């Protein structure tokens, strides 16, 4: 069967999703270390719905700040640029691809549950490894399967065929994508993330979460998300679109380096933290 050329196919789609102008601005401004909180605040204020979402989230138990945050500038100062960027990104993408959407072949609710579990687990693993930018790790886990949302929305016929094959042959979704389309959701996600000017490390994780060594300087982050993805699938958290567990990359596994006892403790932490994070996703929607 002739494979679809990914770049050509994506190029032909005129309405390939774009982030809103406001979200795009905020991402660019928050990536520039010379930007001020005031500039970021002005950009966010262009979208009042976003302002109230950010304040609601900043005041939620997820962050647990003791005093009420009442202005967007205060939220920016307290949460920091990276957190604000992540909130804006999450809110924009959840808006574009709500858990209630989709055409039925793809379990969107299960998808978001899996993504959230993966974000939380990535953060827990990073914490164990002593990594500082935990929020960056969380968003990487949350958005690692962005490509599946694009395929579901803009290549829905192809994606339906993928699902039929997954069910029929009981294989991984990625294997069916490669066999039918000649590319997988990681490649699609990488191209769209690049088009959206997302942070370079995030693009690398989305692109290489199934093959961390190819992520070069972002290999550690990609390995964490790769592990988190496999652990969540292994334990049955959410629905990634197939029912099998992919093999874990050996170097990534060594990075985790957990004894069986510690692994079981990690599973227990995952369940607890995921319950908390679900409340966050509800606030974003």
The residues of the shown chain that bind other proteins, judged by CB under 8 A, are: 117, 170, 230-231, 233-238, 243-248, 250, 253, 260, 263-264, 267-268, 271, 274
Q: How far is the CB of 225 from other proteins (least distance, A)?
A: 16
Given a contact cutoff of 8 angstroms between Cβ atoms, the answer to whether 141 and 123 are in contact is yes
Residue closer to other proteins by CB (options 154, 267) is: 267
For other proteins, give the closer residue by CB, 210 or 233. Answer: 233
Least spacing, CB of residue 256 vs other proteins, in Å: 10
Tokens of 8: 């050509």
User: Cβ 186 to other proteins, closest distance in Å?
Assistant: 19
CB of 204 to other proteins, least distance (A): 23
H/E stretch holding 12 reads: helix 6-12
Nearer to other proteins, 100 or 261 (CB): 261
Please say which residue, 235 or 283, places its beta carbon nearer to other proteins: 235
Of 19 and 230, which CB lies nearer to other proteins in the complex structure?
A: 230
CB closer to other proteins out of 88 and 219: 219
24-33: Cβ within 8 A, 24+ apart? 24/196, 24/197, 26/84, 26/85, 26/88, 27/85, 27/88, 27/89, 27/196, 27/197, 27/198, 27/199, 28/197, 30/81, 30/82, 30/84, 30/85, 31/85, 31/199
Minimum CB separation of residue 110 from other proteins in Å reads: 11
Residue 118 beta carbon to other proteins: minimum distance, rounded to whole angstroms? 12
What is the distance between the alpha carbons of residues 72 and 201, in angstroms, rounded to a whole number? 27
Burial class (CB in 10 A: 0-12, 13-18, 19+), 187: buried
| Joined tokens for residue 211 | 């093959």
Q: How far is the CB of 113 from other proteins (least distance, A)?
A: 8
List, as one string, the DSSP characters of 26-65.
Answer: HHHHHH-TT--HHHHHHHHTT-HHHHHHHHHHHTSTTT--
Nearest-angstrom CA–CA distance, 75 and 187: 35
Nearer to other proteins, 52 or 268 (CB): 268
Q: Look at residue 209 and give its three-state secondary structure.
A: coil
The answer to whether the beta carbons of residues 205 and 218 sit under 8 Å apart is: yes
CB of 263 to other proteins, least distance (A): 4
Query: Which of 65, 253 has the CB closer to other proteins?
Result: 253
């Amino acid at each position: 069967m002739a494979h679809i050329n990914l770049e050509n196919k994506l190029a032909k789609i005129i309405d390939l999703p774009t982030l809103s102008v406001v979200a795009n601005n905020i991402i660019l401004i928050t990536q520039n270390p010379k930007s001020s909180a005031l500039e970021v605040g002005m950009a966010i204020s262009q979208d009042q719905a976003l302002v109230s979402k950010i304040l609601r989230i900043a005041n939620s138990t997820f962050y647990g700040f003791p005093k009420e945050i009442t202005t967007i500038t205060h939220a920016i100062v307290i949460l920091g640029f990276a957190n604000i960027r992540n909130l804006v990104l999450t809110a924009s993408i959840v808006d574009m691809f709500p858990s209630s959407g989709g055409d039925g072949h793809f379990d969107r609710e299960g998808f978001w549950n899996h993504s959230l579990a993966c974000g939380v687990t990535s953060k827990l693993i990073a914490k164990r490894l002593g990594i500082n930018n935990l929020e960056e790790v969380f968003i990487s886990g949350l958005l690692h399967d962005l490509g599946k949302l694009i395929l579901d929305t803009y290549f829905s016929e192809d994606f339906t065929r993928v699902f039929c094959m997954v069910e029929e042959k009981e294989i991984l979704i990625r294997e069916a994508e490669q066999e039918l389309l000649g590319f997988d959701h990681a490649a699609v996600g990488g191209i769209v993330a690049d088009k959206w000017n997302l942070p370079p490390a995030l693009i690398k994780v989305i692109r290489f979460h199934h093959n961390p060594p190819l992520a070069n300087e972002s290999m550690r982050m990609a390995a964490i998300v790769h592990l988190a993805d496999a652990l969540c699938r292994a334990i049955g958290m959410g629905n990634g679109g197939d029912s099998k567990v992919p093999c874990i990359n050996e170097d990534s596994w060594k990075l985790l380096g957990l004894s069986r006892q510690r692994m079981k403790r990690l599973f227990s932490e995952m369940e607890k933290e995921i319950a908390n994070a679900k409340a966050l996703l509800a606030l974003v929607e």
